[in-house]
Amino acid sequence: MKANPGGQIDLNEVVGRNEIIKQIWDTIDRQSIRINAERRIGKTTIIKKLCAEPISGWVPIFQDLEKCHTAEEFATAVYQEVDGFLSARQRTARRVRDFLKAMGGTEVKGVFKLPTFGAQAPWKEILTKAIEDLVEEREKHDERPLFLWDEVPYMLKSISDREGEPVAMEVLDTLRALRQGLGDKGLRMILTGSIGFHHVIHSLKRQSYANSPLNDLYPLEVPPLDSAAAAELAAKLIAGELIPTKTPKAVVEAIARISDGFPFYIHHIVKALKLAGREATPDAVEAIVSRQLRDSNDPWELNHFRERIPVYYGKDNESAVLGILDGIAARQQPVSVNELLAELKGTGTLSDREQLIGLLKLVEQDHYLSRDDHGSYQFRFPLLKRWWMLSRGL
């Protein structure tokens, strides 16, 4: 196995994810899922593995929706995927084809050309009829369709920015209606994304959106690899890269610990060990990580954790969120709400307790922080805390 930081991982080389994949298949039998996970933790690799290796009776369709910026683009992308899937099996997306022909679509020598839509594209009808066609056809074969949609929150934010919050709300409501209306016929969805769903819903609720469009989805979190799986991945990469070491157990344990179990960081560490051309030791691992965290070129893309703050929380809350994270990072022990509030009041950053609690909840949902049994806060991942302190000069 070769180190491939940031690249497409061979699905035969996925390590430590059998249990969560089993949990997903067990859950999807009863309801659809939304996957909550930090970026670079491997959620896209997991859903691609679900698509490539489905259990009997399921027909998975994977789509990356990052390229969809309008409701019409989303509906058209789903239609084209469904139409291609059915065509490969000598079937036709009948409902949606009839609808599109009535709208001016034409078919020449077996190639169907979509009509040109005006300002009000009938995206809802296209989306609904395409999915109905797929469900009906698969039901004949006692199969259940499973849409695996990646970057859904990113798409919803793009739709909201370009077409307005009401359109994004309608997309969410339409997907929920499809799950409810066709769920007893086997339709399931797995929605994932690197922007938390809670940010999208929070933004829409500020625009008087009262629905709960995701409450029928089971929230499933993708955790980092446990220590054994992280060490296994590191060992396979070191062996595959032919990196010499006299203390292999100590080296892989050091990599597993310092990477917090993120496959992305494990691949980066092993790649750096390979490029160094020296014997791998725990000290060499520590030196590499220290150098990477200080590198102004940000090879691990950690600056994303700083850059996304004004995007996720708004410019008005940027100073408060930075104050929260700085205050927690600078302490060795978990910090209580009262301690944070006193500090933020003292610096004139934030004085409202309810606002602080609300921001802490969002920051925790974004995996910066975790709470202990007493309700005090600390950084969830030691590696992120270490980088944060370096980057912020704490």
CATH domain 17-221 topology: Rossmann fold (3.40.50)
What's the pLDDT score for residue 297? 93
Task: Give the per-residue pLDDT at 111.
Answer: 60
The phi and psi torsions of 215 (rounded to 5 degrees) equal -75, -5
Strands 369-371 and 144-150: what pairing? unpaired
Per-residue model confidence (pLDDT) at position 245:
96
Look up the pTM and report it: 0.88
pLDDT reported for residue 93: 65
Q: Which two tokens stand for residue 39?
A: 């970026």
Q: 1 with 236: CB under 8 angstroms?
A: yes
Element (H, E) at 58: strand 58-64
Q: Where are the beta strands (DSSP E) in the chain?
A: 33-36, 58-64, 106-108, 111-113, 144-150, 188-192, 218-221, 369-371, 377-379
DSSP code at position 223: P
pLDDT at 105: 66
Report pLDDT for 149: 95
Residue among 93, 177, 183 at smallest CA distance from 145 = 183
The segments of the chain whose pLDDT lies below 50 read none
Q: Does residue 28 contact residue 190 with C-beta atoms inside 8 Å?
A: yes
Region label for 16, one of left (φ > 0), alpha (ψ between -120 and 50) or beta (otherwise):
left
pLDDT on residue 199: 81
Amino acid at position 120, single letter: Q
> Residue 188: how many CA atoms within 13 Å on its side-chain side?
23
- Cα–Cα distances in Å, from 215 out to 43, 169, 172, 219, 261? 21, 14, 11, 9, 30
Asked if CATH classification 1.10.10.10 holds for the domain at 304-392, the reply, yes or no, is yes
Segments making up each domain of the chain, as ranges: 17-221, 227-294, 304-392
For residues 77, 81, 83, 84, the Cα torsion angle rounded to the nearest 10 degrees is 130
User: Tens digit of pLDDT for each residue in 54-80?
Assistant: 999 999 999 999 999 999 999 999 998
Question: CA-to-CA distance for 34 and 219, rounded, in angstroms?
Answer: 5
